């Protein structure tokens, strides 16, 4: 640590002479020295750097502090004291640390949220894996912009109290409703509340643009739409699938995979032969969602999700028609096939991709992907 000792003496001289330029140059040298050996320094050595850097931070201009914040933000061994100081600095300095530094504890973050303004809370809302403690504070003390940023952070975690507050705020905020509906970690209770909010929002909007239509008719239309919404955002509310044994069908798919990839042609072939279990297994393998979820696409009276899945894979209408006929073969009313084709043709592929990613991500979150490997 001789080099550090020399820098400390130089630091004292720089501060005593009041030279911003010299202090900034010394800061860079100290930071370089720390970064070059950070992985090997022991706690006492890191504490010494903390003291040196803390002294420098008080003597340098904003631009130099911002540079220091950027350089230390991603360093796991960064001195904790200096990181706390930078986090409480003006936002141009604090932002990198608030967004990325793992050295800040929940208590540090709460302290910043309660003592600083919206910009600091917004930077904090971008952090990965925000804890319930921090999100509670941001939701309670942040404004609408902060609330939206936290709700849109896919890795943030929320307490029941925090979720209650979010849903409460969403009552008068359609944009927040949309953000919450996109989350894959919303508990069923809160999802139901969001669906009810969406229904009421839709009713009010329709009432404004269609004042001549009575409330009973509007409520009926909204309820029909809400049923489709539930199918997309609340798969746990769907009817339980009929128990089926997929053991043999899984073996068939595994043997095929040994020689060639499963394709749309395989799906069409199985469906055309009315081989239900093989069709389900082939689709499950192709789109990477569970057997239970694929089976629900056939068991559910609504064809929407089956069509969305097919559109996400760009399957031909010929293949989709075979899947529709397979639904009919297992006793599900498919309605007017021509209307189904019109619905399929109108589907937006990007939207279909988003819904499929939602289903895949939700299953990953709930750790049910292993369900594909055994009988339903």
Residue range 51-67, pLDDT digits in tens: 888 888 888 889 999 99
* The pLDDT of residue 224: 47
- Which residues lie closer than 8 Å to 212 by C-beta, 6 or more apart? none
Per-residue pLDDT tens digits for 342-351: 888 888 888 7
Half-sphere exposure (CA, 13 Å, Cβ side) for 28?
A: 8
* The pLDDT of residue 372: 38
Domain boundaries, the chain: 2-104, 187-237, 247-373
* The pLDDT of residue 38: 87
* The pLDDT of residue 221: 46
How far, in Å, CA of 2 to CA of 17, rounded?
23
Count of C-beta atoms within a 10 Å radius of residue 133: 15
Count of C-beta atoms within a 10 Å radius of residue 20: 13
Is the pTM value of this prediction over 0.85? Answer: no
- Which residues lie closer than 8 Å to 122 by C-beta, 6 or more apart? 145, 146, 149
* The pLDDT of residue 21: 77
DSSP, res 330: T
Beta carbons of 317 and 344 less than 8 angstroms apart: yes
Secondary structure, 3-state, 101-112: CCCCCHHHHHHH
CA 226 to each of CA 199, 237, 295, 368: distance values in angstroms, whole numbers, following the listed order: 6, 13, 22, 26
Half-sphere exposure (CA, 13 Å, Cβ side) for 198?
A: 24
Question: Which parts of the chain sit beneath pLDDT 50?
Answer: 1, 206, 209-210, 212-213, 217-239, 367-376
DSSP-derived secondary structure for 310-327 = HHHTT--HHHHHHHHHHH
* The pLDDT of residue 376: 46
């Amino acid at each position: 640590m001789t080099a550090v000792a020399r820098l400390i003496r130089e630091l004292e001289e720089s501060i005593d002479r009041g030279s911003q330029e010299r202090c900034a140059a010394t800061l860079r040298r100290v930071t370089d020295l720390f970064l070059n050996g950070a992985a090997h320094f022991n706690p006492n050595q890191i504490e010494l750097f903390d003291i040196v850097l803390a002294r420098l931070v008080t003597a340098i201009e904003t631009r130099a502090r911002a540079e220091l914040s950027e350089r230390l933000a991603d360093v796991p061994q960064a001195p904790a004291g200096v990181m706390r100081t930078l986090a409480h600095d003006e936002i141009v300095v604090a932002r990198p640390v608030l967004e990325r530094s793992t050295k800040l504890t929940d208590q540090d973050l709460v302290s910043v949220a309660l003592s600083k303004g919206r910009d600091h809370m917004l930077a904090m809302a971008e952090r990965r894996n925000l804890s319930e403690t921090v999100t509670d504070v941001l939701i309670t003390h942040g404004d609408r912009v902060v609330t939206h940023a936290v709700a849109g952070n896919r890795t943030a975690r929320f307490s029941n109290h925090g979720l209650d507050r979010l849903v409460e705020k969403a009552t008068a905020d359609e944009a927040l409703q949309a953000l919450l509906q996109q989350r894959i970690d919303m508990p069923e209770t809160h999802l139901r509340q969001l669906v009810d909010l969406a229904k009421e929002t839709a009713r009010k909007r329709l009432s404004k643009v269609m004042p001549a239509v009575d409330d009973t008719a509007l409520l009926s239309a909204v309820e029909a739409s809400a049923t489709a919404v539930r199918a997309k955002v609340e798969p746990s509310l769907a009817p339980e699938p009929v128990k089926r044994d997929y053991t043999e069908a899984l073996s068939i798919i595994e043997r095929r995979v040994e020689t060639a990839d499963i394709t749309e042609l395989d799906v069409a072939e199985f469906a055309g032969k009315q081989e239900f279990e093989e069709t389900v297994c082939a689709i499950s393998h192709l789109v990477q969602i569970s057997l239970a979820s694929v089976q629900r696409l056939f068991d559910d009276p609504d064809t929407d999700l089956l069509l969305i899945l097919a559109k996400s894979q760009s399957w031909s209408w010929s293949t989709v028609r075979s899947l529709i006929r397979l639904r009919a073969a297992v006793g599900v009313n498919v309605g007017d096939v021509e209307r189904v084709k019109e619905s399929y043709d109108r589907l937006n592929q990007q939207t279909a991709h988003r819904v499929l990613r939602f289903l895949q991500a939700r299953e990953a979150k709930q750790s049910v992907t292993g369900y594909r490997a055994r009988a339903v």
